[in-house]
Each structure stands twice: as C-alpha cells, then as structure tokens.
Homo-oligomer: A and B are copies of this chain.
Amino acid sequence: MQTQRASMRRTGTATYVTGQETAQRILDEARRLFMEDGHGKLTMRRIAKAAGMSPGNLSYYYPTRADLLADLLQYVIDGYIRQLQTLRDEASDDADEQFRAVLGFVFNDLATRETTLFFPELWVLANRDDWIAQQMEKMYAQYRAILVDVIGLINPTLDETRRSDLALMISASIEGHTVFVGHGRPHRARAGQLRNLLIEHFLRLVKDTGGPRSADGTKDR
C-alpha cells in the first residue's frame, strides 16, 4: 500500500517535524471543514483558524486557495482510491460475491455522512473546473476498472465496450442514490432494500446480457 502523501501543490516544504505536522493538520482540518460546511465556506481564514495558525502561515504552505483545494481533493480522492484497492485485494474467489462485495461497499459508503456530503460538492466543482473533473474521472476510472474485471469474470462473452458500458451504467446508477438514500436524505430508510434490489438486478443483467451486439433491443432512438 502507498504512503499517505498526496500533497503536490504545497510550497511549504514541511521538512521539519513541526512542519510535517502542520501540513497534515491543514489537510485534516480543511477536509473536516469541507465536509462540514461545503466548498463555499471553505475559506483560508477558517482553515487557518481551525488549524490553529495565522493566515500568513497557511499561505506559506499553500500560496493560493486553489492550491490548497487541489491538494485537499487529491487527498480525499486518494483515500477513496486506497479503499477501492483494498477492496479488490480482499475479494473472494467467487465472481458473484466479488460483484456483491464491490457494489455493496460503495452503496454502504455512499450513506456515510462524509460521502453524502463530499461527492455532490465534488460533482459541482467538476462542472466548473477541468482539473478537478480530471481527478474525479481518474478516481471513477479506477473504480470502474475493478467493475470491468468482475463483470468479465461473471460473463466472459462480453466484449470490452459492453463491459465498459455496463460498468459505467452500474456505477453511475449507484452514485445517483447518494442524493436519495444518503446520510440525512429522505429515503435513507429504504437504502437496504434498494441496495439489494439494485445489486441483484445488475448482477442478473450482467449475466443475461448477450455477447457483442446482442439482441437486447438497443438501437439509438
């Protein structure tokens, strides 16, 4: 497993121990504030205060807010990627169970307070900032890569395109539930039901889908 470091926009070198601690404190507090109050209220001053430092010192580590935000998102996204890799490593032998494990994990995660609050913010930012869109896509791509593999195990007759499309469709569908059954969302009570419904159903779909150019009625309309 990789080391923790994700910071690349930081100019404060953090070579001393105190510096490293400060750098970490910045990311942690920024992360907390981001989750808590969203991007709009994530100001340099608030981060500095939360991390117990002066604004001047914060901008020694991050000269601009954009730099800090970039590192912060990288940091959080890296956390998710690491979880995904762990997930894969721990996968059982049975393909169906792998499928259930991966989607189940994501579904459960989406209901946590952190994820429910974080991802919509990320989606908004990605809509306005190309670099953020890229990082986000990189993360989702890693996630889908796992899905593509598992789908291939379940139904080896599917070609690459079909596997990709299925993975994309499945992951997009699950992500969509964040807004409805996520933490504090109105239908969170149905989360368990929907999770099983969705997973079993997509599992069946993967199995049932014919090979390349299958007769599933797909034609662009």
Mark A residues whose CB is within 8 Å of B. Answer: 37-40, 104, 116-117, 120-121, 123-124, 126-128, 133, 137, 140, 165-166, 168-169, 171-181, 184-187, 190, 192-198, 200-201, 205, 216-221
A176 touches B186 (CB 8 A): no
Which residue in B124, B168, B185 is a CB contact (below 8 Å) of A190? B168
Q: List 19 A-B contacts (CB under 8 A).
A: A37-B128, A40-B40, A104-B221, A120-B127, A121-B124, A123-B123, A124-B124, A126-B179, A169-B177, A169-B194, A172-B179, A173-B173, A173-B198, A174-B176, A175-B180, A192-B220, A196-B218, A196-B219, A201-B205
Cα(A117)–Cα(B133), bound, Å: 13
A216 touches B200 (CB 8 A): yes
Q: Nearest 6 A-B pairs (CB), nearest first?
A: A176-B176, A173-B173, A120-B123, A192-B220, A175-B176, A196-B218
B181 touches A197 (CB 8 A): no
B196 touches A221 (CB 8 A): yes
Report copies per complex. 4
Cα(A194)–Cα(B220), bound, Å: 10
Question: What is the distance, in angstroms, from A219's C-beta to the closest C-beta of chain B?
Answer: 7
Closest to A179 in B: B123
A180 touches B197 (CB 8 A): no
